[in-house]
């Protein structure tokens, strides 16, 4: 499980933490929690509005990762023995 999380939240080299990916995950998590809270509290859920918000978060995060892809450290090849 830790290897999986490390691969999700690091750059191409799987060593450097990627703040953009971490914030993207936090924003997505908070969006789901706030949506669930609102649905439980009011009993109302608008799937179209939720999907538009979720799409904006996904597109924004994906766009941010694409914009900074040129600045990521290169993947290091393992040493030859």
- pTM equals 0.77
* pLDDT string in tens for the chain (81-residue length): 888 888 888 888 888 888 889 999 999 999 999 999 999 999 999 999 999 999 999 999 999 888 887 887 776 666 566
Q: What is the DSSP string of 10-73?
A: B-TTSSSB-HHHHHHHHHHHHHHHHHHHHHHHHS---HHHHHHHHHHHHHHHHHHHHHTGGGSP
pLDDT of residue 13: 83
Q: Is 77 helix (H, G, I), strand (E, B) or coil?
A: coil
């Amino acid at each position: 499980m830790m290897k999986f999380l490390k691969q999700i939240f690091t750059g191409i080299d799987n060593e450097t933490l990627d703040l953009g990916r971490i914030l993207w995950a936090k924003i997505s998590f908070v969006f789901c929690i706030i949506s669930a809270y609102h649905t439980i509290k009011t009993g109302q859920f608008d799937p179209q509005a939720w999907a538009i918000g979720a799409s904006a978060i996904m597109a924004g995060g994906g766009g941010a990762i694409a914009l900074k892809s040129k600045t990521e450290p290169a993947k290091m090849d393992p040493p030859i023995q």
